[in-house]
Structure 1
Amino acid sequence: MKINVIDRDGTLHELDATPGWKVMEVIREAGLDIKAECGGCCVCSTCHVYVDDAWVDRLPGRQDEEDEVLDDACELKETSRLSCQLLMAEELDGLTVTLAPEWA
């Protein structure tokens, strides 16, 4: 299973993804620059990504907790998600996300 991640420099990385892993874990394990300060507990927005338009409708909807955390995110878009809230599954093979800009 694969996930495509576009880093903040615009470089595309095709990563191997394990079913059941959070997208944030896949990105971090690959050594890409994602802070994920809360470790995937949905209390910060440092794992903020933009989901490619082709994938937005294939993902489960955002829960209230994710919406609340994203309210504090920098440069929020309609396709914004917390990568810690997206679990890899066979139906997401080939998912494409872009790392959101980092903020202090």
Structure 2
Amino acid sequence: MAQLTIQPSGTVVDVIAGTPLLSAILAAGEKIHHKCDGKAECGSCHIFVLEGRKTLPRIQKIENEQLDALVGVSSKSRLACQTLMGEEAVTIELLSFV
């Protein structure tokens, strides 16, 4: 397990490697848009990975295509529904709130 820190709330949870960040965020009681239920069709679960970005699995084609369609994307951008937790600590920033 690795620690996931969720900003701006500062919530810290232990997450099993391989768990989608969207699932971990919701299990932590945080609110985040996820209109397509994790299918990478909407981009509403766009997050920034503030720390630990290099420990996460690489961006796959479907995620990259959706990120290309969004405004405000940076090198820190990921889709929570497509990003799997790695084995090291990660800090993310939620950009969309319900």
TM-score (norm 2): 0.82
Distance 1:74 1:60 in 2: 23
Which residue pairs with 1:27 in the alignment?
25
> Is 2:48 the counterpart of 1:47?
no
| Structure 1 residue matching 2:72: 3-state secondary structure | coil
> Could you list the runs of 5+ residues in structure 2 that have no partner in the other structure?
none
CA-based RMSD:
2.0
| Structure 1 residue matching 2:71: 3-state secondary structure | coil
> Could you list the runs of 5+ residues in structure 1 that have no partner in the other structure?
none
Choose between structure 1 and 2: higher strand proportion: 2
Distance 1:13 1:5 in 2: 5
Q: Deviations over 1:18-70 (max 9, x none)?
A: 33321100101222121111111111111111011x42222222122111111
Moved over 6 A (4+): none
1:82 partner letter: L
Aligned identity (percent) is 31
Distance 2:16 2:31 in 1: 19
| Contact residue 46 and residue 94 of structure 2 kept, 8 A | yes
Choose between structure 1 and 2: higher helix proportion: 1
1:84-95 equivalences in 2 (<5 Å): 84-89=81-86, 91-92=87-88, 94-95=89-90
Which residue pairs with 1:36 in the alignment?
34
TM-score (norm 1): 0.78
2:83 partner letter: L
1:62 partner letter: I
Compared CA separation, residues 76 and 4, structure 1 to 2 (3 A): same
Distance 2:76 2:84 in 1: 16
